[in-house]
Amino acid sequence: MSTFPETLDAAVEQAKEATLSAIADGYKLIQVELVIPEIALKSEALALEFANLFASRGSGVKVMFPDTGASALAKRNWGEQAFQVTDLGSRFTSIETKIAPEDEIFIVACPSAVEVERVEKLSNLAGDRPVIFLIPQLEDVAVVGIGLAARQLRERFIKNIYSCYYLRPIEEGAVLRCHPSPWQIWLEQESSYKLATELSAKPMGEDLERLMIRLTNPETESGDSPQPRKRTNLLGNLQKFLKALSQ
């Protein structure tokens, strides 16, 4: 059973172990999601953590950033490394030119919906080689859209990405998924988090809201119509969680 991460470092370590386990279990298209405000600012540091993890195991690692600016900055900051660093290409440079036969695993740092077509092509070109998306933002409705083409994109690609690690703070608790454990809801205690329930699928939207009402109001009978929870403490709870992660 998963334990709840007390710090950001602990969450990253959990994510790395979950990624290794998912790949060992045969998953090739996987993602690590830390649904925390401003986490995208840490994408370079996360990419380095994961690149070193696989490079230390002798894998031919290629780290890919959304654009040439981000990849150039990472190269400058990291210096000489035992893995390759590049970008996802552009309208002038195809993604095909970014892939080499010696590449064994691809780590894509913070891809957004703007790059979703190139990311999908990369996944197809990778074949049996694992592709890891770190803190992806591939489903921006304003970019991907809500029409037929968007539904087809989700059906053939986005829905097939396996979430091996997911951490999201919510009011009065958090959602955690750490492969091979199922999806979990953790409730906030005085100074920690307590596992409340496990689920076979990702809790979302109104289903998550109803579940949290039931978990945080156990005295409410199933036949009653529970009142919406107060949201006045949401910001305070989130800040408390982020403070713990930053220690």
pLDDT at 8: 87
Give strand pairing partners of 109: 134
pLDDT at 191: 80
Give every residue of the chain whose pLDDT is below 70, as ranges. 1, 140-146, 219-247
In the sheet with 162-170, reading across from the earlier edge strand, the strands are 84-87, 61-65, 105-109, 131-134, 29-34, 162-170, 173-178, 183-188, 193-199
pLDDT at 150: 78
What does the pLDDT look like over 197-209, one tens digit per residue? 999 999 988 999 9
List Cα–Cα distances, 183 to 164, 170, 172, in angstroms: 10, 14, 17
SS3 of the chain = CCCCCCCHHHHHHHHHHHHHHHHHCCCCEEEEEECCCCHHHHHHHHHHHHHHHHHCCCCCEEEEECCHHHHHHHHHHHCCCCCEEEECCCCCCCHHHHCCCCCCEEEEECCEHHHHHHHHHHHHHHCCCCEEEECCECCCHHHHCCCHHHHHHHHHCHHHCEEEEEEEEECCEEEEEECCCCEEEEEECCCCEEEEEEECCCCCHHHHHHHHHHHHCCCCCCCCCCCCCCCCCHHHHHHHHHHHHHC
Integer Cα distance of 100 and 123 in angstroms: 14
Q: What topology does CATH give the domain 1-247? A: Rossmann fold (3.40.50)
Largest CA distance in the chain: 63
Integer Cα distance of 83 and 106 in angstroms: 10
Checking phi first, is residue 89 left (phi over 0); if not, alpha (psi -120 to 50) or beta?
A: left
Residue of 103, 93, 9, 22 whose CA lies nearest to 49 = 9
pLDDT at 228: 47
pLDDT at 199: 95
